[in-house]
Every structure is written in structure tokens, then in C-alpha cells.
Structure 1
Amino acid sequence: MLEQSTSEVSDSISKKIGTSLILGVVFSALLLMLGNGGNIPFLPPALIFPLVALTLLGAVVFPLIWHYLEKREKINSEKVYGFLYSGIRYVIAFNIASFGWKKFYGLQFVVPAEIARLPMNQQSGEWLTWFYFGHSHTFGIIIAVIQIAGGYLLLFRRTLLIGSIILFALLSNLTLINIFYQMNAGALMQSVVLTIGVLFLILLDYKKLIVFFLKTKSNLPSLNFNNGFAKNSIRISAIVLSLLYTIYIRSLVK
């Protein structure tokens, strides 16, 4: 009985700390995004960094105070969780939608003329990436629409999960681009934090996802095979034969 009680308390504390830290980290990322470049007069770097430090400190201290008050029945944890979850959703939506609007107003994927004139082998991975994405204005707008619409979907509980999944697919892709194409540290940090944030929102409904993706069978009609080995062999052949085809095509290239 004592072991079960201790486990429940530990889980409760870890959940509080985890939720609070997620809000603290995504809010810190938002502050850094707002203060990037020092373009906003009332949000200079000298103010942004102390605010980030206070936010992260508060994210660590608050759950301890919260848990202390909860044990004394002086706080409504359900309301606190509601506030934290809503805060996470709002901050992520604001942050990622901001990146979307920047694309509409030509504040992203813009390469200076002196950089664009350089040979490709003299440009950094970051400028090559921006030049590539900026080559098609339509493609940039499509990404922007996904970011804005995905952020909007986060703001409603009914569409929270689908919005999180859409944004996770986009953000995980952007994170890999930021890593392997040597984008600046700020862009990488933003993509990593936002990816973790939407993944956190997805995992809140992980039981639904397990049922949907792993326990729900498709209604599509299929071929009936009594021999399981033959059925699995046909499945594997799609991958193996495509590999053999590629090897054959490669052998024709001299």
C-alpha cells in the first residue's frame, strides 16, 4: 500500500514538473523569437534574456509549490492543468503562426543579392536552403498556410490532435533540415522546441493513437491466402524487388 502511494506521488510530481517545463520552454522560445534581432524597441536583448531565465526558473519552482499546496488541498490541480495545457497550446500556436505570417510578408526565405550572386559551392548550407525554399513563392506560401492553419487547430480541443499531428510532421522535417543543412542555432532551437511541444500535445492522447494506428484494421478488401508464408513473402517482395530494380538501373549508369 505504501509503495503504491509513493509511486502515485512520484508520478504526480513528474507530471507536474514535465507539464510546467514544457510551458516554460515553449514560452522561452517565444520570448527569444520576439526579441530576435532586437527589432522591437521595448524588448531589447538585455530584457529578453533575464525574462527567459525567470521563466525557466519559474517552470522548475512552480510545480514544487503546486504539489505542496495540492497535498494540503489548497489548490485545484484540474484548473492548473487546464491553464498549463491551454498556455502550451496558445504559445505554440502564436509562435508557429508568426513564422507563417513572416512568409506572407517576405520576411523569410530572402537571400541578399550579394549572397545570391556567389557560386553555389561558395555558399553556406543555410543560404542554399533559404535560396532553395525562396525560389518558389507558392511553395513558401503553402508552408505558411500549414503553419498558420496548424496553429489555429491547436486552439480547439476538438481539433487539437489533428493539428498537433500536422505540425509534428512539418516541424520534424524542418528540424532535420536545420540540423543537416547547418542552419543558425536560433532556427534550430525554435524548431526543436516547437517539435517537442507538439509531440507533448500528441502524447496526451497516446492511448487513442495506439488504438487508431495499431489496433484498428483497414476495411479495404484484401486477397485471401491460407498460407501465411506466401502472404508475407508477397509483402516483402515489394521492398526487395524495388531494391533489385534500383541496383539494375544503377548498373546501367556508367
Structure 2
Amino acid sequence: MTLRQFLSTFFLFLIGSYILLYAFPFPLNHIPLTYDLFSKYVMALQEKYILFFGHEILGLESFEKIQLTGSGDTTYDYVRIPALFTLSFFIGLLLSLLKYTQTKGLEFYNWMLVYARYFVGLTLISYGVAKFLEGQFAGPSFYSMEILVGDISPMGLAWRFFGYSDTYKIFMGLSEIIAGLLLLIRRTSILGALVSIAVCLNIVLVNFSFDVPVKLFSSHLLLFSALILIPKIKPIFEFFLLNRQSNLGEIKPHFTQKRARIIRLVLVLYFAAFIPITTVVSHFQSQKFRTFENEWEGLYTLIDFDTNRPWNKLILEDNFMMLQLNYGPKEFWNIQEIKDDGVLVIKNQKDESNPHELKIKKSDDEHYEIQLRLGNKTVNTIGKRKEKSSYELTKRGFHWINEYPYNR
């Protein structure tokens, strides 16, 4: 083996190993029982290695993994990249030196591109389905419409922008689902990679532009999409830019033996059909935990003065209540139950075992009698109710014809 061949084989093993290490435990997280039987032990081993790398190699003395922060850009996530890349380097070097495996570099890499196709494809499908449902980008809420724009974080601004338009959310969702489905099918995988690059590039730009803490993960989705496309970049370049006849050739790996083709068919049906369907079903089932019927929803501005009441705004929306003094500190409460005659049972995280009570009664067309009991303290007041349809953001709507821009 020449030096050039060795370096080429080493590079294929290096990149292929990194794809595998980064995406694991996929697809085992989609297979029942595999997490408890296998994945959690391997993940625990990987976590110990990354912590060791951070402490001993990078010299980060206070480095630790913070569990379930909702962020994909923690210090642990940043250390994970060079740690996995270093491990991939040694794996690639070892496989390149072993006599049995040193001729298998291209075959291994092609398999890892298939692995990347399914990883990116199923991830995008999950992202896309979420766009159709309540959760990721919520529509205009009382809380979001009452907060000052200057007090919104960049991510909050982006989420409110996307959440305003159901049409745009559907467009984003369909784009991600189409890209994902095309990637799952071998014959359409190159088209899927092209669509996925466009979709993931937009996601990456949003994440970097609005400080959304999924920068590393979305960048890897974009990188993997590009790696899927690169083996066919020459014929694509010739066809689109040089206007020449071109052929993508065979999409590998390709099976010829009957048993292998049957196994492949079963796996494709499971990962390209069963998992997307169950993803859709699970997303729809989760909606019952995200929706909460609340007939008293609204912003209540309290019009009488009471020294026992350090707030003059009360927001009821879905299953939460918020108390606020103008634009000062906010207090959040969960609505546990809505009883008859406007009685709401509420609680907060500080006192889970002791529910409190809110009573609302309409007194005339504009005013509501409000009684709030928080422990031994009871506040009686009068409030005016504002509904979502009163806000300019929600009542403006869509207009085909605009003689003048309505930009406020």
C-alpha cells in the first residue's frame, strides 16, 4: 500500500468512525429495550471518556456534564467534539494498519454514509412533524404580547416570529419532512441530500444568528448532509454548471444476494416506514399534555388599589397563571384544575403540596370580580379582561391588497 492509499484509507476510517461515534445510540433509541440492555452502558462509558478528556487532556478542572439543560451547546457538548474526533483518529489509524481491514476503508465509509442518511433523515422528520403541532413554536400568547420587545432574548424573538404564522410553520415542517423522506430512500438520497443541505443551512443560520443553543447539533446535520452529497458532487457539478450529460452511477452499498436483500428490505421498512409513522403518532399523542382548555383565558388588568396586592396584572392562559406589577417581576403558577363557577385550583413549585384558589365571576360586560387565595392571604379585586383578538398582532390578519404598508 502506497502512502497515498494509506492516507486515503485512514481518512475514510477517520470520518466514518466520527459519524458513528457522534450519532450513537441511533438507531438503537428507536428499538424497544435496547437502551436498558445495551445503549446506556455504552453511553456511560462514552461520558466517562469525555469527562476524562476534558479533565486530563484539556485541563478543565471543574468540567462536568450538566444533565437535561435543554441546551445542546454546553461545555460538555463542545468538549465532546474533539474527544470523539481524537478517538476516531486512533480508531482510523488502527483500522488502516490492520491487514484485514486496511482494504475495507471505502466499504466502511459507504456504510457510514448510509448510517448518516438515516440519522439525518429521521431527525428532520421528527423536527418537521413538530412544526405542525403545539410545542416548538407556540403562537402569540398573552405573555409574549405583553412583554417589552427590548426584554426578549434573540432566541425568544426568533421563536415568536416563527410561531406567529401557521403557514410558515407548515412550510418549514414540510421542507424538513420531504428532505428526511428523500434521504431514507436510496434512489432519492442524493436529491434528499440537496434538499437537506438547504434546510439545514437555514437552521444553522437561524441558530447562529439568534443564539439558539443547538448550533453544534444542527451544524453536524449540515455536515453529514454534505458528506452524503460529496461522492456525487462531480456529476452534479457537470450537469448543473457545465451543462454536460452526467450520470450519478450506482448508489452504494448495493446488495446482490437474496438473503441480504430481504434483510435490507426489512430494515428499510422498519426505519423508513415504521419509525416515521410511530414518530407522527407519538407527536400527536403528546398534544394532550400540551393543550389545556381554559374558558377564563385572558389578560386581567386590575383597576382598584389594594396594598395587600403587589401586582396589577393577572394572565390566565392554558394551564398557567402569571401575576405582575406593570413590567416588574413576574410570579408564575400552574393551574391544576378548573372547577365549575369559575373556581381555579392553582399551585407553584415552591409549595406543591398546598394548592391555592382563584375565583372569577363576571359582574357586567367589562368587569370581573376576582378573589385570589394564596395560603392564609386572600385578595379581592375587580379586573377588566382583554382577549387575544384585541391585540393588533392577532386582529390585523392577512390582506391581498395593501394600498400602503401597515408597518407599526
TM-score scaled by length of structure 1: 0.67
Percent of pairs identical after alignment? 21
In the alignment, structure 2 segments of 5+ residues that lack a partner are 51-79, 246-408
Instruction: Flag the 1:148–1:81 CA change in 2: closer, same or farther, 3 A.
Output: same
Q: Is the 8 A contact 1:171 1:194 kept in 2?
A: yes
Q: Distance in 1 between matches of 2:170 and 2:25?
A: 23
The answer on 1:203 being equivalent to 2:230 is: yes
- Structure richer in helix, relative to its length: 1
Partner of 1:130: 159
Alignment gaps of 5+ in structure 1? 35-39, 219-254
Which amino acid in 2 is paired with 1:135? Y
1:24 equivalent in alignment to 2:52: no
Q: Which residue of 2 aligns with 1:72?
A: 100
Seen in structure 2, the aligned counterparts of structure 1 residues 179 and 159 have a Cα distance that, compared at 3 Å, is same
In structure 2, distance between residues paired with 1:73 and 1:197: 24
Q: CA 1:217 to 1:85, structure 2 compared with 1: closer, same or farther past 3 Å?
A: closer
Counterpart among 5, 8, 17 of residue 8 in structure 1: 5
2:123 paired residue number: 95
Cα distance in 1 for partners of 2:223, 2:119 equals 13
Alpha-carbon distance in 2 for matches of 1:108, 1:101: 10
Give distance in 1, aligned partners of 2:148 and 2:90: 52
Query: Which of the numbers 149, 155, 159 marks the counterpart of 2:188?
Result: 159
Distance 1:74 1:64, change over 3 A: closer
What count of residue pairs does the alignment treat as equivalent?
Answer: 203
Measure, in 2, the Cα distance between the counterparts of 1:145 and 1:123: 28
Against the structure 1 CA distance between its residues 62 and 192, is the aligned structure 2 distance closer, same or farther, given a 3 Å change threshold?
Answer: same
Equivalent pair of 2:155/2:210 in contact (CA under 8 Å): yes
In the alignment, is residue 191 of structure 1 matched against residue 188 of structure 2? no
Residue identity opposite 1:6 in structure 2: L
Question: Counterpart of 2:134?
Answer: 106
Alpha-carbon distance in structure 1 between the residues aligned to 2:127 and 2:49: 20
Q: Does 1:170 align with 2:170?
A: no
Q: Residue 191 and residue 48 in structure 1: after superposition, are their counterparts in 2 closer, same or farther (change >3 A)?
A: farther
For residue 3 of structure 2, give the secondary structure of its aligned residue in structure 1: helix
Tell me by how many angstroms 1:116 deviates.
Answer: 4.1
TM-score (norm 2): 0.43
Query: Which structure exhibits the higher relative contact order, with contacts defined as CA atoms closer than 8 Å and separated by 6 or more residues?
Result: 1
Query: How far 1:120 sits from its partner (Å)?
Result: 1.4
What letter is aligned with 2:96?
H
Task: Determine the C-alpha separation between the residues in 2 that align with 1:99 and 1:30.
Answer: 16
Distance 1:12 1:74 in 2: 7
Q: Secondary structure at the match of 1:204?
A: helix
**Cα distance in 1, alignment partners of residues 244 and 111 from structure 2:** 37
**1:235 alignment partner in structure 2:** none
CA distance in 1, matches of 2:210, 2:100: 52
**Structure 1 pair 180–21 and aligned structure 2 pair: CA distance change class (3 A):** same
Q: Higher strand fraction: Structure 1 or Structure 2?
A: 2
Matching residue of 2:109: 81
Kept after mapping to 1: 8 A contact 2:130/2:136? yes
1:182 to 211, 216, 231: 211
Distance 2:172 2:47 in 1: 33
| Alpha-carbon contact 1:116-1:131 (below 8 Å) kept | no
The 1:78–1:177 alpha-carbon spacing in structure 2 relative to 1, beyond 3 Å, is closer
**In 2 relative to 1, CA 110–52 (structure 1 residues): closer, same or farther, beyond 3 Å?**
farther
- Structure 1 position 113, deviation (Å): 4.7
Question: Structure 1 173/6 Cα, relative in aligned 2: closer, same or farther at 3 Å?
Answer: same
Task: Please give the root-mean-square deviation of Cα atoms over the aligned residues, in Å.
Answer: 3.6
SS at match of 2:2: helix
In 2, the alpha carbon distance for the partners of 1:117 and 1:48 equals: 47
Show the 5 A alignment for 1:220-239.
none
Deviates most, 112-121 or 148-157: 112-121
Cα displacement (A) at 1:213? 2.2
